[in-house]
Amino acid sequence: MDNFSSHFSTKLHAFSRYLLAFVKWTAISLLCGVPIGLVGWCFHELVEKATGFRQQNSWIIWLLPVAGVIIALLYRVCGMEKDGGINTVLSSIRTGEPVPIRMAPLIFVSTVLTHLFGGSSGREGAALQLGGSIAAQFGRWIRLNEKDLHCITLCGMSAAFAALFGTPLTAAVFAMEVVNVGHMFYAAIVPCIFSALIGAGVAGQLGAIPTSFSVSGIPVLAVQTAIQAAVLGILCAAVSILFCVSMHTASRLYKRFLPDTLIRAAAGGLIVALLTLVVGTHDYNGAGMDVITRAVAGDAVPWAFLLKILFTALTLGAGFRGGEIVPAFFIGATFGNAAGALLGLDPSFGAALGIAAVFCGVLNCPLASLLLCLELFGGSGMPLFALAIAVSYMLSGYFGLYSSQRFFFSKTEHVEINRAAD
């Protein structure tokens, strides 16, 4: 009887610890998710208004060099000239280096300026920085220990990503998966999911519409369609590598030939403005969500993905701010539309496959990519999406958009490698 009582007491004590941890992180998720969801909604609204103004006043592109100088000056004055953006947030989760709270207003303002004046960038990278820096500061205010600070930073990333896109499942898993590939922070699963759901819920209550696409021509799983999806996954892996290499190369070349950040930003803005004039369309300025929508509807220019890679590399490499995920959607959608049609797939379905496969290829997050398909496209065709994602993940190697991302395991064998992304 004594042994039974002792065993029961031990189990009860363990359960009480789990319950206390659950209550603690539920409260933190609520306190974290609500304000970050509100900030994410405000950020989304301002970016949308900036985009709308730019589309109605196309002449504003010629002020892009001025906007670049303003952004560079803001970072210089705030002592953040060497800020690594999302890489800083990812490194902090692994190393414990504090994320400065001034990152939040800087990335907020600079991303809106980038979109207002026509730089080619996304918004989710900014949202991840916003959420991560705000949550980390909140964690310091309530005196969390170092390990809990890592967890609350992931919560902030989840809440901001979910508020912006309306994809809470993707947001939660992405935050846990992106830092260390192959070594997810499962201890953060409850707070990340809670924060993501709260962030998306707050933004939804304020009128934000979740991102989603209507995909047509989704085939049934068969030998032929499996081969088509796998081949498209191979091609998307190559496109992912091209995107990553272009982004890193542009940044290195800018720094080599234009070491002063003010001159670099002005020159980059002028190059993008002139390139816009040359191509004769503003499709490649801003995030390009309208182009993505058209591509998923079946209409895309075959070479659009190459131009988006060029515009985005020239913009972000020069020091403008934003993110790379929506540009990756653009690249995947336009490439998948064209390549899918050549492979015999419906262009709409090819575009959806391209979004998922390129997203996975540049960010190395296969589980988040699968959930992205579920939340963006619905549940149809999931085996084919999974196939394209798996192939792209493996064949994209160790390339990645975020240099602070680390790979804990090899992609080809069960071996620990613990190496940084290329």
Number of domains in the chain: 2
Assigned domain for 8 exists? no
Assigned domain for 214 exists? no
Q: With contact defined as beta carbons under 8 Å apart, do 177 and 184 qualify?
A: yes
Assigned domain for 16 exists? no
Assigned domain for 195 exists? yes
Please indicate, yes or no, whether residues 58 and 200 belong to a single structural domain of this protein: yes
pLDDT at 280 over 90: yes
Task: Give residue 4's pLDDT band: very low, low, confident or very high (50, 70, 90).
Answer: low
Please indicate, yes or no, whether residues 344 and 411 belong to a single structural domain of this protein: yes
- Sheet of 406-409: strand order equals 180-181, 406-409, 416-420
Query: What percentage of the chain exceeds 70 in pLDDT?
Result: 97
pLDDT digits (tens, 9 = 90+) for 115-136: 999 999 998 778 888 899 999 8
Please indicate, yes or no, whether residues 140 and 35 belong to a single structural domain of this protein: yes
pLDDT at 17 over 90: no
Domain that holds residue 278: 223-420
Q: How far is CA 388 from CA 192, 226, 346, in A?
A: 27, 9, 15
pLDDT score of 311: 98
Query: What percentage of the chain exceeds 90 in pLDDT?
Result: 75
Assigned domain for 2 exists? no
Assigned domain for 3 exists? no
Q: Report the pLDDT averaged over residues 199-223.
A: 95
Which of 91-95, 169-173, 410-414: highest mean pLDDT? 169-173
Please indicate, yes or no, whether residues 183 and 276 belong to a single structural domain of this protein: no
Please indicate, yes or no, whether residues 195 and 256 belong to a single structural domain of this protein: no
Please indicate, yes or no, whether residues 282 and 316 belong to a single structural domain of this protein: yes
Q: Report the pLDDT averaged over residues 366-372.
A: 97
Please indicate, yes or no, whether residues 137 and 283 belong to a single structural domain of this protein: no
Task: List Cβ neighbours of 141 (8 Å cut-off, separation of 6 or more).
Answer: none
Q: Report the pLDDT averaged over residues 378-397.
A: 96
Q: Domain ends where: 179, 205, 231?
A: 205
Q: With contact defined as beta carbons under 8 Å apart, do 332 and 358 qualify?
A: yes
pLDDT score of 416: 85
pLDDT digits (tens, 9 = 90+) for 38-80: 999 999 999 999 999 999 999 999 999 999 999 999 999 998 8
Assigned domain for 46 exists? yes
Task: Give residue 91's pLDDT band: very low, low, confident or very high (50, 70, 90).
Answer: confident
Please indicate, yes or no, whether residues 241 and 92 belong to a single structural domain of this protein: no
pLDDT at 3 over 70: no
pLDDT digits (tens, 9 = 90+) for 309-336: 999 999 999 999 988 999 999 999 999 9
Q: With contact defined as beta carbons under 8 Å apart, do 359 and 382 qualify?
A: no
Q: What angle do CA 257, 261, 266 make, to 5 degrees?
A: 85
Q: Report the pLDDT averaged over residues 233-238.
A: 98
pLDDT score of 314: 98
Please indicate, yes or no, whether residues 65 and 114 belong to a single structural domain of this protein: yes
Indicate the average pLDDT of the chain.
92
Q: Residue type at 269?
A: G
How far apart (Å, rounded) are the C-alpha atoms in residues 313 and 334? 17
Please spell the DSSP secondary structure of 44-90, one letter per residue.
Answer: HHHHHHHHHHHHH-GGGGGGHHHHHHHHHHHHHHTT-TT--THHHHH
pLDDT at 5 over 70: no
Please indicate, yes or no, whether residues 199 and 236 belong to a single structural domain of this protein: no
How far apart (Å, rounded) are the C-alpha atoms in residues 419 and 416? 9
pLDDT score of 7: 61
Please indicate, yes or no, whether residues 161 and 229 belong to a single structural domain of this protein: no
pLDDT at 94 over 90: no
Q: Domain ends where: 154, 174, 205?
A: 205
Assigned domain for 311 exists? yes
Domain containing 62 — which CATH number? 1.10.3080.10
Please indicate, yes or no, whether residues 200 and 336 belong to a single structural domain of this protein: no
pLDDT at 1 over 70: no
Task: List Cβ neighbours of 301 (8 Å cut-off, separation of 6 or more).
Answer: 334
pLDDT digits (tens, 9 = 90+) for 141-181: 998 888 898 899 999 999 999 999 999 999 999 999 998 88
Q: Domain ends where: 143, 173, 205?
A: 205
Q: Regarding predicted confidence, which is higher, 155 or 89?
A: 155
Helices 382-395, 223-257: crossing angle, 10 deg rounding: 40
